[in-house]
Amino acid sequence: MFDGTYRKGYAKVNYYDNTSTHYLPKYKKKKQKHKDKQCQKIEKEIRLKQFIEEFYKIPVILNIRNYETYLLTKEWKERSLLVKRYNGMKCCKCHSGPMDHWKLNAHHLTYERIGAERFDDLICLCWKCHKKVHSI
């Protein structure tokens, strides 16, 4: 049955209005997948740089007397939300998610720089994994 189209090389050409739909050969599709992976890697690096720049724009708090009061400050909430957003609202340990931000915790890997954390001082954990980490 003739549907009004014919193939010409790698293009499907409509016989009636001479429009074409291009098809890539298989070897070009593989190259395209490889390029897509490279693009994703570059996009991830750019995204990381953007998050780090945004993270360090948050002002540093010095003279913190109490850890619990620091966790209530606007600066901590901004930092923790950025870490959660960077990790895709998923737990870094069990990879569950995406979840609402209030179900996740930003966990300090070190408590040396409270108020002046670096981006790699914090990780995103669900409440179950956070509880396990602190019970160890």
Q: Where are the domains of the chain?
A: 58-135
Please give the backbone phi and psi of residue 75, each rounded to the nearest 5 degrees, phi first.
-65, -45
pLDDT (average), residues 73-84: 90
pLDDT (average), residues 45-53: 83
Is the full-model pTM beyond 0.85?
Answer: no
Q: Name the band, by pLDDT with cuts 50, 70 and 90, for residue 17.
A: low
Quickly name the fold that domain 58-135 has.
His-Me finger endonuclease fold (3.40.1800)
DSSP code of 109? S
User: pLDDT tens-digit profile of 103-121?
Assistant: 899 999 988 888 888 888 9
- pLDDT on residue 32: 59
Q: Are strands 104-108 and 20-22 parallel, antiparallel or unpaired?
A: unpaired
Please give the backbone phi and psi of residue 82, each rounded to the nearest 5 degrees, phi first.
-65, -40
DSSP code of 90? -
Please give the backbone phi and psi of residue 125, each rounded to the nearest 5 degrees, phi first.
-130, 145
pLDDT (average), residues 35-52: 80
